[in-house]
Amino acid sequence: MGIDLYEQVFYSLDLIEKDYFGLQYTDANNVKHWLDPTKAVKKQVKIGSPYTLRLKVKFYSSEPNALREELTRYQFFLQLKQDILDGRLECDTPKAIELSALALQ
């Protein structure tokens, strides 16, 4: 079941704040889907083995300061950085410079 895979991933990463994250896969038509933890993996990911799934932020907190774990905050940072680099989030040049400076601290 999908929940077993989720639990193994969270355990391996020592990720405690699990509710923000999901596992995502891309189908044969290049469409991204979230893995449903209540269903079997092989019934969802029809491309076949080996399966490629990505841990992604599924729900962003409206209060980032409420994130308790440093690892959770770091995973959010990595996801936001990748979304900006891939153009999924817009970021003007001054804000990009400011964010880069903060990331280097």
The reported pLDDT for the residue numbered 56 is 94
Residue 41 confidence class, pLDDT cut points 50, 70, 90: confident
Report which of 41, 33, 34 is spatially closest to residue 4, judged by C-alpha positions.
41
What number is the average pLDDT over the span 17-33?
90
Domains and CATH numbers, the chain: 2-104 (3.10.20.90)
Residue 88 is encoded by which pair of tokens?
A: 């999924």
By DSSP bridging, strand 21-26 and strand 32-34 are antiparallel
Q: How many helical (H) and strand (E) elements, i.e. helices and strands, does the chain have?
A: 4, 3
Residue 25 above 80 pLDDT?
Answer: yes
* pLDDT tens, residue by residue, 82-105: 988 888 889 888 988 888 888 887
Residue 64 confidence class, pLDDT cut points 50, 70, 90: confident
